[in-house]
Amino acid sequence: MGDWKTITVPVLSSDSKNILPYTSDRKISPTSMNSQVLRLPLPSSKNMHSFFSAFCTEENIEQRISYIDRELTTLGFPSIYAESKGKELNLISIINCINELLVLQHKNLRAQEEVEMQHLKLGSDMDHLQNCYAKLKEQLELSKREIVGLQERDRQLQSKNRNLHQSLKNEKDEVQKLQNIISSRATQYNHDMKRKEREYNKLKERLHQLVMNKKDKKIAMEVLNYVGRADGKRGAWRTDKTEARNEEEMYKVLLSDYEQRQNQLLLENAELKKVLQQMKKDIISLLPPQKQKPKERSEEGLVLSDQEEDIGELNKENMWELSCETVREQLTNSIRKQWRMLKNHVERLDNQVSRGHSGALNEKDVISREDHELETEKLELEIQQCKEMIKTQQQLLQQQLTCDDDTTLLLQDCYLLEERERLQEEWRLFREQKKNFEKERKSFTEAAIRLGLERKAFEEDRGTWLKQQFLSMTADCKSENVTTPSAFLRSKYLVQIIFLRSDPDIRSVKSASRQRKLPSVLSAPVSAELCQTPQYIAQNSVASEKPAADNMPNVWVESDDKEETE
Amino acid sequence: ASCMQHRLLVRDARSLHILQLYTCLDQIQYIEWSSDSLFILCAMYKRGIVQVWSLEQPDWHCKIDEGSAGLVASCWSPDGRHILNTTEFHLRITVWSLCTKSVSYIKYPKACQQGVAFTKDGRYMAVAERRDCKDFISIFVCSNWQLLRHFDTETQDLFGIEWAPNGCVLAAWDTCLEYKVLLYSLDGRLLSSYRAYEWPLGVKSIAWSPSSQFLAIGSFDEKVRILNHVTWKKITELDHPATIASKKTIVYKEVEKSPTVETERLSFPPTRALASSLFSTQSKYDISQVPVSLQYIKPVADRANPKVGVGMLAFSADNCFLATKNDNIPNAVWIWDMRKLKLSVVLEQLCSIQCFQWDPCQPRLAVCTGSSRVYLWSPAGCMVVQVPGEGDFQIVSLSWHPSGNSMVLLSKDNFCVCYLEREEV
């Protein structure tokens, strides 16, 4: 059984304050076997400490043990009493229970942590959501206001529109009214004019009558002699025959004019028909030959037959030179059809070109225009680059060939100078490093000499100390239980020290940095748990090593501390 | 032939020598050559007398006295043997025959601008009549003056009639209060009627193209509408805006150039020739860069017969060009290319245009503006011809010789003949 020491495990979160504070943990203090000690944080250790100690005191220890036993059994743990009745405690079971409780505690802590994490997360999520909500509310407000504004504007525009419509209607009405006014005035004027004209006519008639009645002799024609007619013919009487002849002549004139016009139109028509036929032939020739695959689509077959029909018809027409309505229509229809086919064909070609693939006809031979262009561009670029390279090469060659010997030597000299300078730099660096190494070596050798001297001194000391120790050991052998193991331990430790001491000798020569570690290694075992004697040794060793270690302030401090503790 | 007061002078066209001299009874108001150039009629409206002179026989004479009927207009018939006299108040048209001494009357002629129209071949004559407040057209056969057709027209107030050069279509148009153009065939059938718009002022001038293919109608809305002879529908509208923006139009602008006088030759007192050359300003044509804005005059709105719209129309003899004048822009002559129906040239003058006439043979246009210069344009270019002489010779009108080699330039009191010589290449 070891010493009982209560080390309180503090409560980590505020929740667990509700838990009864009897989650104290008892830790058996290990003897010098255990080298590790758990150090747990103790925030409210003082209160808990008093409280924990309140739970179990010297008087009610039996009650408490039984209470704990009950609690544990209710929780499902095995009893802490030994098998046999009585007050003997089953240590193992206690330890197991404690272990189980620890595990449980850990689990609970972890769960608590998780819960707290989640709680934090949720809290931040909540904050985030609240922010979002606030922003969205703001946005909603803004958009509502905007909507209101837009609606207002819309209303205004609509009212304006209505006003404009109204004004337009008004204008139209006005225009209509004015037109009506004008027409009414015009009719009025016409009526007045007619009235006046009739009056005027009456006057004219009157005047005419007067003039005619006067039978003025002055109205006469005096001619010296009759003039022959221009065309030499005699004058003719007015008879019906002449009238008929007149009519005839008039109609002749008209007819001749119409005939002339008709001839002109016929000529025009013939020309235009020729042109149309020519066009039709051209269109047919432009279209791709469809006779190769007549079975592919039935439409084409129909078209073919139509074509043939048309051609036949028109040829017939040529021969007979009919120009009746149906033939004309046929011609125009056929031309329209051909034109549409041509258009479709051209469109298809365009699509083909843009897509870059050809149809079922030729796949390998036809390269799409775009690829072709890209290739040509690439090739051109390559050509340009090659040309440029060639030019630069030529220039360089020229330079090399045409430049003087002096310049070449100078150039070479330049290169050499550069190299020399670089080499000098490196030499310098090298020399510096060499110096440093020399210094270090010197210091090492000195340290080694010193170490040797110290070792000698230490050996002597050791010898004397061992003698003393053996003497003292035999003196107090019954005082403590620990002495024997401690003696063993001490002897072991001595051996360790020797080993450790041998090591530093080797190590110190090699590198300076490890010197720092050594005292710490030595001083580690020189902690409170060790006995005084090792401390003494350490001290001595430390002291002996003092002058050797220039750059070991830690050791200084510790050795000072140790001296003080002593 | 020219008349002065009551004397009639006949000159030779090439040499201007006086060949004949006749004296009439009264001041001559109107002279006209007969179609075969054998006779000249001189009309004296105040006295109501028409005298006819013969060139072959200077002793031959003829006098037609209308007496109290009065005389308003007189003209030859196309055969050169009949004279048509319009009596006062347009009571009647008397047809006097020189061969038979017979008289015919045409009643109720219309008192309008162009009431009588002869076909080009002289066979038919159309007379506009008005009876009972309705317009009629009578077509007469000129050989025996027989009435061929008589039909009414759908016009409010017929303003003018004109035969197409092919003699088969007669165009009749209404007064400017109504835009209406009616087309009748020779036998009196109405072929078509064209109306561009209803209320604003209507037709101002009409011209047939020499091939009878086109009928150009100039109206008060500053536009010329061209109808084609097949469908009698409008082919195009030619607009006369004040700003010319099209790049393809050439604008010739008449600019004055200051006369160059050599100071050495100045003498005192200055000779007449020098004085006249100092005071008379030379001018030449410059090509203006489009866009060009022409001088636009907005007429007074209250007056009747406003100076608006296309007032003068003339087709060139080869049917290729149409010359128009917009009275709103009185200084410019617009020449349109009939093959493209586009404006090809604009001549901008310094003064307002008085008269222009096409050469009967070539596409040459002669323009006079009341200054002492005559302006000639042809597709090759245009030039300014100064009338040499003392003082001012303000050309009021001009007339081409039928052969196209010379033209007569008339001012108020004088006239001169301008000969156009061919360049010897």
- pLDDT per residue over B406-422, tens digit each? 888 888 877 888 787 76
pLDDT of residue A110: 96
> In chain A, what residues touch B82 (CB-CB under 8 Å)?
none
Residue showing tokens 């003392």: B390
Q: Is A215 on the interface with B (CB under 8 A)?
A: no
Q: Above 70 in pLDDT, residue A51?
A: no
**Which ipTM value was assigned to this complex?**
0.74
Share of residues in chain A with pLDDT > 70 (%): 59
Cα of A274 to nearest chain B Cα, Å = 22
What value does the mean pLDDT of chain B take? Answer: 82
A224–B62 CB contact, under 8 Å:
yes
**3-class DSSP assignment, residue B424:** coil
Token representation of residue A472: 């003292």
A250–B61 CB contact, under 8 Å:
no
Output the CA–CA distances (angstroms, integers) from residue B33 to B30, B53, B65, B373, in the order listed.
Answer: 10, 10, 19, 28
Q: Above 70 in pLDDT, residue A468?
A: yes
Average pLDDT, integer, range B207-215: 90
Q: Above 60 in pLDDT, residue A300?
A: no
Q: Above 70 in pLDDT, residue A52?
A: no
Average pLDDT, integer, range A218-238: 62
pLDDT of residue A412: 78
A230–B61 CB contact, under 8 Å:
no
Name the pLDDT band for B208 (thresholds 50, 70, 90). very high
pLDDT of residue A305: 47
Average pLDDT, integer, range A126-132: 96
Number of Cβ pairs closer than 8 Å across A and B?
A: 109
Average pLDDT, integer, range A336-348: 84
Q: Above 70 in pLDDT, residue B273?
A: no
Residue A487: how many CB atoms within 10 A of its CB?
14
B99–A222 CB contact, under 8 Å:
no
Q: Above 50 in pLDDT, residue A434?
A: yes
Cα of A328 to nearest chain B Cα, Å = 20
Nearest-by-CA chain B residue for A195: B133
Cα of A208 to nearest chain B Cα, Å = 7
Q: ∠ CA(A423), CA(A428), CA(A430), 5° rounding?
A: 95
Output the CA–CA distances (angstroms, integers) from residue B191 to B100, B163, B288, B414, in the order listed.
Answer: 37, 14, 44, 46
pLDDT of residue A87: 63
Q: Above 50 in pLDDT, residue B337?
A: yes
> Are B162 and B119 a contacting pair, CB within 8 Å?
no
Q: Above 90 in pLDDT, residue A79?
A: no
What value does the mean pLDDT of chain A take? Answer: 72
Closest partner CB to A221 (pick from B96, B124, B133):
B96
Q: Fold for domain B243-258+272-298+307-424?
A: Methylamine Dehydrogenase; Chain H (2.130.10)
| CATH 2.130.10.10 domain position(s) in chain B | 1-107, 110-239, 243-258+272-298+307-424
- Contacts by B388-395, CB closer than 8 A, 24 or more apart: B389/B276, B389/B416, B390/B272, B390/B273, B390/B276, B391/B276, B392/B280, B394/B370, B395/B354, B395/B368, B395/B369, B395/B370, B395/B371
CA distance A467 to A481: 23
pLDDT of residue A449: 94
pLDDT of residue B295: 79
Q: Above 70 in pLDDT, residue B138?
A: yes
Cα of B146 to nearest chain A Cα, Å = 7
Question: Which of A4-13, A54-63, A447-456 is most confident?
Answer: A447-456
Q: Which CATH class is domain B1-107?
A: mainly beta
Q: Above 50 in pLDDT, residue A551?
A: no
For residues B63-86, one letter each, b for 16 or more C-beta atoms within 10 angstroms of the residue's C-beta and e for the rest, the string is ebbbbebbbbbbbbbbbbbbbbbb
**3-class DSSP assignment, residue B114:** strand
- Among the residue ranges A310-314, A489-493, A560-564, B272-276, the one predicted with the least confidence is A560-564
CA distance B141 to B119: 10
A305 or B394, which is more confident?
A: B394
> In chain B, what residues touch A263 (CB-CB under 8 Å)?
none
CA distance A373 to A278: 37
Residues of A (237-266) whose Cβ lies below 8 Å from B: 238, 242-243, 246-247, 249-251, 253-254, 257
> In chain B, what residues touch A215 (CB-CB under 8 Å)?
none
> In chain A, what residues touch B189 (CB-CB under 8 Å)?
none
Q: Is A475 on the interface with B (CB under 8 A)?
A: no
The DSSP line for A402-463 is: HS-HHHHHHHHHHHHHHHHHHHHHHHHHHHHHHHHHHHHHHHHHHHHHHHHHHHHHHHHHHH
Question: Which of A302-316, A473-487, B372-386 is most confident?
Answer: B372-386
Average pLDDT, integer, range A170-177: 95
> In chain B, what residues touch A211 (CB-CB under 8 Å)?
67-69, 87, 91
> In chain B, what residues touch A223 (CB-CB under 8 Å)?
62, 98, 101
Question: Which of A123-132, A310-319, B47-56 is most confident?
Answer: A123-132
Question: Which of A140-154, A282-296, B292-306 is most confident?
Answer: A140-154
Average pLDDT, integer, range A306-332: 59
Question: Which of A175-179, A332-336, B185-189 is most confident?
Answer: A175-179
Q: ∠ CA(A130), CA(A136), CA(A142), 5° rounding?
A: 140
Q: Above 90 in pLDDT, residue B351?
A: no
CA distance B387 to B284: 14
Is the CATH code 2.130.10.10 the one for domain B110-239? Answer: yes
Residue showing tokens 């449980």: A104
Main-chain phi, psi angles of B37, to 5 degrees:
60, 25
Share of residues in chain B with pLDDT > 70 (%): 92
Question: Which of A331-335, A478-482, B60-64, B138-142 is most confident?
Answer: B138-142
B99–A229 CB contact, under 8 Å:
yes
B67–A182 CB contact, under 8 Å:
no
Q: Is A202 on the interface with B (CB under 8 A)?
A: no
How close are the terminal C-alpha atoms of chain A, in Å? Answer: 31
> Are B33 and B1 a contacting pair, CB within 8 Å?
yes
Name the pLDDT band for A249 (thresholds 50, 70, 90). confident
> In chain B, what residues touch A190 (CB-CB under 8 Å)?
156
